[in-house]
Structure 1
Amino acid sequence: MLNIAVLVSGGGTNLQALIDAQKNGIIKNGRIVRVISSREGVYALERAKQNGIETRVVARKNYKNPDEFDRALLAELKAANTDLVVLAGFLSILGDAVLNEYENRIINVHPSLIPSFCGPGFYGLRVHEEALKYGVKVTGATVHFVNKVVDGGAIIAQKAVEVKEGDTPEILQRRVMEQAEWVLLPRAVALFCEGRIKVKDGKTIIV
């Protein structure tokens, strides 16, 4: 049974999808042992507490520089005996200390079909605003491993979502979450916990 730590910064809808997947037996060989937030008072922490999951806050603003923040975060991950780190709406960039310790053991979900609409600054509604501005007919979500390039790690899974006439960024965001993010992220975590994801030459193989 692998220990999963989920990193959050906001409301925690993807965290909820993971909690539900664990309860429903989709995630068989892993359990969420810790939820760590980069901000105090976010609803994701309440979701964790309601489900008996330990929480911690490692607030970026409390540290003089990114390296100190990274070391504090790493200490919390190690204290929880973390095997897999899942970024679920985590808005801080991870530094080398965490990335090196958990190479190919950090999973993120991004609300577009990478390599479109990704990279530094592309998060939240901005991703959907840019997709609508460009006029794409399909968008979607991508689950990938995290490396030193923002949104540049090996892709684990992707799912396309239709863009409809009259969509606003908020409507599109909700559709992408419901049809793609909340489906893909638990599935990827389940595959990882079952030892079915291999990385070779910068690409993933599902076995």
Structure 2
Amino acid sequence: MKNIVVLVSGGGTNLQALIDAQKNGKIPNGKITCVISSNPDAYALTRAKENGIGTRVIVPKEFASREMYSKALLEALFQEYADLIVLAGFMTILDQSIIRAYHNQIINVHPSLIPSFCGEGFYGLHVHEAALARGVKFTGATVHFVNEVADDGPIILQQPVAVFPDDTPEVLQKRVMEQAEWQILPQAVNLFCNGQLEVREKTVFIKQ
């Protein structure tokens, strides 16, 4: 059984998708053991507590330096015996020390089809605004392993979502969450917990 630690900063809709998948037996070899938030007011903490999941709050601005914050976060991950770390709307860039300590054990969900509309500055509604401004006919979501470059790690799963002429960023964001993010994030977590993911350089192969 793999210990899953979820890092959050906000509402926690992707966390909820993972909780629901776990409840429905879709992640049989994994268990969400802790939710760590960078924001003490994140509603994701309430979601965790309502489902009997332990929580921690580690706020970056309460530390004198990024290095000290990263050290505290890394210590918390060690204490929770994390096998898999899931970034679910986590608004803090992870330090290299954490990425190295958990090589190919950290996954993130991004609301576009990487390599489109990704990297520094592309988060939340900004991603969907950029997609609409470019006039793409399809967008979607990507689950990938995390490396030292934003949204650059090996891609695990992707799911396309149609874009319609009258879409607003908010409408598109909701569709991408419902039709892509909430679907492929639990799938990727399950594949990891089953030992079905093999990374060769920058390509992920799914073992049957």
**Could you say which TM-score interval applies, normalised by the shorter chain?**
over 0.9
AA in 2 matched with 1:15 = L
Deviation at residue 150 of structure 1 after TM alignment: 0.3
Listed as ranges, the matches of 1:84-123 within 5 Å are 84-123=84-123
Listed as ranges, the matches of 1:126-205 within 5 Å are 126-205=126-205
Deviation at residue 167 of structure 1 after TM alignment: 0.3
Task: Name the count of aligned residue pairs.
Answer: 207
Contiguous gaps of at least 5 residues in structure 2: none
Please name the residue that 2:61 is paired with: 61
**Aligned-residue RMSD, C-alpha:** 0.5
Give every structure 1 segment of 4 or more consecutive aligned residues whose post-TM-superposition deviation is greater than 2 Å. none
Deviation at residue 201 of structure 1 after TM alignment: 1.7
Q: Give the TM-score taking structure 1 as reference length.
A: 0.99
* % identical equivalent positions: 61
Q: Give the TM-score taking structure 2 as reference length.
A: 0.99
Please name the residue that 1:2 is paired with: 2
Q: Work out the CA distance in 2 between the residues paired with 1:96 and 1:114.
A: 21
Please name the residue that 1:81 is paired with: 81
Deviation at residue 124 of structure 1 after TM alignment: 0.3
Q: Any idea what the Cα deviations from partners look like across 1:39-81, whole Å, max 9, x if unmatched?
A: 1111000000000000000101111221111111101111111
Please name the residue that 1:71 is paired with: 71
Q: Work out the CA distance in 1 between the residues paired with 2:55 and 2:166.
A: 40
Q: Any idea what the Cα deviations from partners look like across 1:164-193, whole Å, max 9, x if unmatched?
A: 111000000000000000000000000000
Contiguous gaps of at least 5 residues in structure 1: none
Deviation at residue 114 of structure 1 after TM alignment: 0.2
Q: Work out the CA distance in 2 between the residues paired with 1:60 and 1:179.
A: 32
Aligned to 2:131, what secondary structure does the other structure show? helix
Q: Any idea what the Cα deviations from partners look like across 1:106-129, whole Å, max 9, x if unmatched?
A: 000000000000001110000000
Q: Work out the CA distance in 1 between the residues paired with 2:64 and 2:118.
A: 28
Aligned to 2:199, what secondary structure does the other structure show? strand
Q: Work out the CA distance in 2 between the residues paired with 1:129 and 1:201.
A: 32
